[in-house]
A and B are shown apart, each in its own frame.
Chain A
Amino acid sequence: MPINTLDPNTWVDKYSDYLYNYTIVRVNDHEVAQDLISETFLAGLKSKDNFKGQATERTWLISILKRKIIDHYRKINSNKGKAEVRVNYNDSESEGDWLEERVSDPYDRTAEDTMENEELGMAIFGCLNGLPEKQASIFRMKTIDGIDTETICNEFDITASNLWVIIHRARKAMADCLEENWF
């Protein structure tokens, strides 16, 4: 079994988007998600001596992040009362309605569909992690950040046709990977 090592310098570039997409589905707040990721990286740094090298960097970070998300909800819910769902049936507006009407509708798939859509982000950034570093960063800049060709060429010191070859390979790899994991 190959021993995995940690390289904290690359964490932000490599994993922040993946972790962000994981978090945003679960906490649904941009600021909170960002704080949690930042905390995760710092916690990872602190306990990096405990890393045994059996999991990949990403799995390890996700497992820390999971704890952080749980802690976050614990913190919110410690203000007792907020966590309770109160069904109030005594206001004048809903007088005469039946409780059964409020039960979730099993044929309404909207919630599940949104959830699936949100996990798409993870699938994409997961695939992006599988690409060679240069391909991944160029594909990211071009496709997701929408930076124009010339700027990217200058930054990486390559010609335009070079760039298109890299993009072509990256797109092919991404399509293969997503086909396997998503479509």
Chain B
Amino acid sequence: MSIKLECHEANHICDKNQYREASFWEKVRLNIHLIYCRACRKYTIRNSKLTKTVKNPKVQSISTDERRVLKERLQQELSK
């Protein structure tokens, strides 16, 4: 296994890393790739920014259970 990465592989690892699913060895290779690849550096910055934004506690969503309740109520009304 070579230490060098293609850009599309680097992007894949970067995506995985956003969910903390990249292995240690993958992260090392990604970081080495980032040293010399400008495009991937840009992609990584944007990707982390997106992760941070979505993780913002002010972004709220309705839980799956509550969605189901909403759906059932709507469904009831639909079938009338």
Contacts and interface: CB of A to CB of B under 8 A. Distances in A.
Nearest to A24: B60
Contact count band on A: 35 or more
A11 interface: yes
B20 to A, nearest CB: 10
Nearest to B70: A12
B71 interface: yes
Nearest to A13: B67
A168 B12 contact: yes
Contact of B74 (A11, A21, A120, A149): A11
B77 to A, nearest CB: 5
Interface in B45-76: 46-47, 49-51, 53-54, 56, 58-62, 64, 66-67, 70-71, 73-74
Interface of A: 8-9, 11-13, 16-17, 20-21, 24, 34, 37-38, 41-42, 45, 114, 117-118, 120-121, 124-125, 142-145, 149, 164, 167-168, 171, 174-175, 178-179, 182-183
